[in-house]
Amino acid sequence: MLEAMFFIAITAEAMTAALAAGRRKMDWFGVCLLACVTALGGGTARDVLLGHYPLYWVHNPYVLLLVCGAALLTIAMARVVDKLRWPFLLLDALGLVVFTIVGCNVAIEMGQHPLIIIVAGMVTGIVGGILRDVLCNDVPLVFSSELYATVSIVTGVLYYFGLQANLPPDLVMLVAIAVGFTLRVVALILKWEMPKFVYDKDLR
Amino acid sequence: MLEAMFFIAITAEAMTAALAAGRRKMDWFGVCLLACVTALGGGTARDVLLGHYPLYWVHNPYVLLLVCGAALLTIAMARVVDKLRWPFLLLDALGLVVFTIVGCNVAIEMGQHPLIIIVAGMVTGIVGGILRDVLCNDVPLVFSSELYATVSIVTGVLYYFGLQANLPPDLVMLVAIAVGFTLRVVALILKWEMPKFVYDKDLR
Amino acid sequence: MLEAMFFIAITAEAMTAALAAGRRKMDWFGVCLLACVTALGGGTARDVLLGHYPLYWVHNPYVLLLVCGAALLTIAMARVVDKLRWPFLLLDALGLVVFTIVGCNVAIEMGQHPLIIIVAGMVTGIVGGILRDVLCNDVPLVFSSELYATVSIVTGVLYYFGLQANLPPDLVMLVAIAVGFTLRVVALILKWEMPKFVYDKDLR
């Protein structure tokens, strides 16, 4: 079931990336490339940082076709898409928490320190979006918008401590996903944000 | 012969990067650094993604001196350079296809999946330019300009299937390089572009 | 003693990153993330390029807490900070040379080529700042401002050749740090810059 959600998450990330590419008037190839970087960049960054080879998509290259397919489908149905704002945001929220769980699992299997397990989940959840924003020449949204990375951290903490408490793994996973997902959706609706740090002097 | 072309390609990439650095008024050190990132970034990204260590330039550090030398030479002859627009574009096209072949060879030697072989060629061919554009604070050209990544993919596909068909490797390589090079040059002359995806609504 | 200076350096980098984040109105999470990328990004890039696993912060995850703590402290004391311009610049200069020495040491232990030892020191010293600037959507300062990477290279060269000459390692380290630090501070005071390469034609 986690695997099914993982593929849904990858597809959703690919589609939001395709829309971002469209806003930058990229060509079809650029759309596919940005979709791959966004959907697979988080897991790739995690694996490179942890030295966990081979990378997921090198081992299962067909996921590249899935991502490019989802990106091209988004081009085809772009006119319908703006009626789908909420389904998209919900899928993106699901993607965030599912990527987090997958990332934690990789670090747990490698026997990493608890802090690194949480970081691995967060990197998997947010780095794809950061790379998308850097390639689109924006300051990454995750640095300043509604709770996003925080959702990933909360999900990872719940998941890790649930497993530590010897609760049934499937239950722990479901609860972590449900809590993370709900937190993200509520943050979107109520526009919850972290406090901002505003500093306008230039030290240089 | 591939090696000779490889060094020509690295030099050409270093020189185009130096010009990009000049447009951003970088200092001599910045010119060298941007040249290294552009000329060696594609192969570095490929090797990091595939876990293929040591990196080429770590194993052969003198290539760093070649790249910096080419970059500094570009500064010295900047006034001549704008009469050299076409030689530059041709060398850059050669670089793209040669990098692609080199990248495919690395993945083939590692016994990777055919899709990954094509991707490895493409990453080697285009990532240097993407890093150059990100460091210059531009949206990467490869996302929206004339056929570039497509040329790399065509070259890689031809090369891989030629080898699969048991044709003589040297012949396959020459044909793949010739076709890719021609395609790129024709695309430049006729301004062939991939269709663009333009989407101007903001989902957020 | 190198270790003590290393922690001071990491803290200083985290604090300058936090100020950069404040200038971009990032939230508290963004401040912490940018601090981690800036303070640990140089060492991470070096280790990924050299295939030197596990990464420092994966092996010693508590350094993440140190960096986030320093970043949050910077938020709390932001009003005092602009009276601290020079202490900051001095700590940043110390950070640069200390990171350089640490990076050289890693490459020396791995038995790398002298050129790679210098490059490893430079990557450790400057990549954190480059990543900070890219994430803040700026052209990296290091490409065009006062002597910075040059300081790192001078420090690395002195350190390497000092060790080669069989001088006492502690003495070599102290001299390299002192010379590099002084060079950087003098460059800041006298606004020493590398010559710029200005080229304003567009080849495309």
C67 inside domain: yes
CA–CA dist A202, C19 (Å, integer): 9
Could you report the per-residue pLDDT of C176-185, keeping only the tens digit for each? 999 999 999 9
- Token pair of A169, please? 């793994």
* DSSP E strand stretches across C52-204: none
Torsion angle, alpha carbons of A37, A39, A43, A44, to 10: -20
Give the confidence band of A197 by pLDDT, cuts at 50, 70, 90: confident
Q: Please answer whether residues B163 and B172 qualify as being in contact, where contact means their C-beta atoms are separated by less than 8 angstroms.
A: yes
Tell me the sheet residues that pair with B196.
Answer: A27
Phi, psi dihedral angles at B193 (to 5 degrees): -130, 155
Torsion angle, alpha carbons of B62, B63, B67, B72, to 10: 20
Q: Please answer whether residues C39 and C56 qualify as being in contact, where contact means their C-beta atoms are separated by less than 8 angstroms.
A: no
CA–CA dist A34, A22 (Å, integer): 10
B71 inside domain: yes
Contact A199 C30 (CB under 8 A): no
Could you report the per-residue pLDDT of A158-182, keeping only the tens digit for each? 999 999 999 999 999 999 999 999 9
B196 inside domain: no
CA-wise closest residue to B156 among B91, B96, B90: B96
Whether omega before B54 lies within 30 degrees of 0, making that bond cis, reads yes
Distance from CA of A107 to the nearest CA of C (A): 11
Residue A70 confidence (pLDDT) = 93
Q: Is C8 within 8 Å of chain B by CB?
A: no
Residue-by-residue DSSP string for C134-162? HHTTS--GGGTSBS-HHHHHHHHHHHHHH
* Residue type present at position A30: G
pLDDT tens, residue order, chain B (204 aa) = 788 889 988 998 898 889 888 888 888 888 999 999 999 999 999 999 999 999 999 999 999 999 999 999 988 887 777 677 788 788 888 989 999 999 999 999 999 999 999 999 999 999 998 999 888 887 777 777 778 888 999 999 999 999 999 999 999 999 999 999 999 999 888 888 778 888 776 554
Residue A82 confidence (pLDDT) = 67
B199 inside domain: no
Q: Where are the alpha helices (DSSP H) in B24-135?
A: 28-50, 56-59, 62-76, 78-81, 85-109, 114-135
DSSP letter at B177 equals: H
Q: Is C178 within 8 Å of chain A by CB?
A: no
- Token pair of C39, please? 């303070």
Residue A204 confidence (pLDDT) = 47
Could you report the per-residue pLDDT of C159-203, keeping only the tens digit for each? 999 999 999 999 999 999 999 999 999 988 888 877 888 777 655
- Token pair of B53, please? 């260590």
Which long-range contacts (C-beta less than 8 Å, at least 24 apart) are formed by A60-64?
A61/B113, A61/B115, A61/B116, A61/B119, A62/B115, A63/A10, A64/A36, A64/A40, A64/B115, A64/B119
CA-wise closest residue to B98 among B174, B41, B16, B165: B174
Give the percent of chain C with pLDDT over 70: 98
CA–CA dist A51, A26 (Å, integer): 33
Distance of CA B68 to the CA centre of its chain: 17
List all residues of chain C from 41 to 60 with a beta carbon under 8 Å from chain A. 44, 48, 53-55, 58
Domain hosting residue A129, numbered range: 2-190
CA–CA dist B69, B18 (Å, integer): 11
Q: Please answer whether residues A37 and A135 qualify as being in contact, where contact means their C-beta atoms are separated by less than 8 angstroms.
A: yes
Residue A19 confidence (pLDDT) = 86
Q: How many domains does chain C have?
A: 1
A104 inside domain: yes
Cβ contacts of B31 on chain C, cutoff 8 Å = 197
CA–CA dist A136, A2 (Å, integer): 30
Could you report the per-residue pLDDT of C44-83, keeping only the tens digit for each? 999 999 999 999 999 999 999 999 999 999 888 887 776 7
List all residues of chain B from 64 to 123 with a beta carbon under 8 Å from chain C. 64-65, 75, 78, 81-82, 85, 88-89
Chains in contact with A, where contact requires at least 3 CB pairs less than 8 Å apart: B, C
Residue C204 confidence (pLDDT) = 47
Distance of CA A113 to the CA centre of its chain: 22
* Residue type present at position B185: V
CA-wise closest residue to C43 among C30, C29, C58, C32: C58
Q: Residue B140, SS3?
A: coil
B197 inside domain: no
Is the predicted pLDDT of residue A203 greater than 70, yes or no? no
Contact A144 C24 (CB under 8 A): yes
Phi, psi dihedral angles at B11 (to 5 degrees): -65, -45
Q: Please answer whether residues A56 and A43 qualify as being in contact, where contact means their C-beta atoms are separated by less than 8 angstroms.
A: yes
Which residue is it, tokens 């500093």?
A: A199
CB-closest option in A113, A198, A204 to C22 = A198
A141 inside domain: yes
B201 inside domain: no
Helix axes B28-50, C28-50, angle to 10 degrees: 80
**What average pLDDT score do residues A81-103 get?**
85
CA–CA dist C111, C98 (Å, integer): 20
Calculate the alpha carbon distances from C187 to C85, C97, C191, C198 in Å: 16, 14, 5, 21
DSSP letter at B83 equals: G
Is the predicted pLDDT of residue C142 greater than 50, yes or no? yes
Q: Is A197 within 8 Å of chain B by CB?
A: no
More confident residue, A86 or C103: C103
* Residue type present at position B66: L
Residue B82 confidence (pLDDT) = 67
Q: Is A137 within 8 Å of chain C by CB?
A: yes
- B–C: how many Cβ contacts below 8 A? 93
* Distance between start and end Cα atoms, chain A: 52
Residue B151 confidence (pLDDT) = 92
Q: How many CB atoms lie within 10 A of CB B85?
A: 13
CB-closest option in A34, A53, A145 to B143 = A34
Q: Where are the alpha helices (DSSP H) in chain A?
A: 2-23, 28-50, 56-59, 62-76, 78-81, 85-109, 114-135, 149-164, 169-190
Cβ contacts of A196 on chain C, cutoff 8 Å = 25-28
Residue B1 confidence (pLDDT) = 75
| Test mutation, B199, B200, B204, chain A, max A CBs within 10 A | B199
Give the confidence band of A79 by pLDDT, cuts at 50, 70, 90: confident
Could you report the per-residue pLDDT of C6-18, keeping only the tens digit for each? 998 899 899 888 9
CB-closest option in B51, B139, B202 to A137 = B139
Calculate the alpha carbon distances from C163 to B144, C5, C167 in Å: 50, 20, 6
Out of A20-24, A83-87, A143-147, A159-163, give the one with best mean pLDDT: A159-163
CA-wise closest residue to C98 among C193, C165, C13, C186: C13
**What average pLDDT score do residues A105-115 get?**
95
- Token pair of A146, please? 């509604």
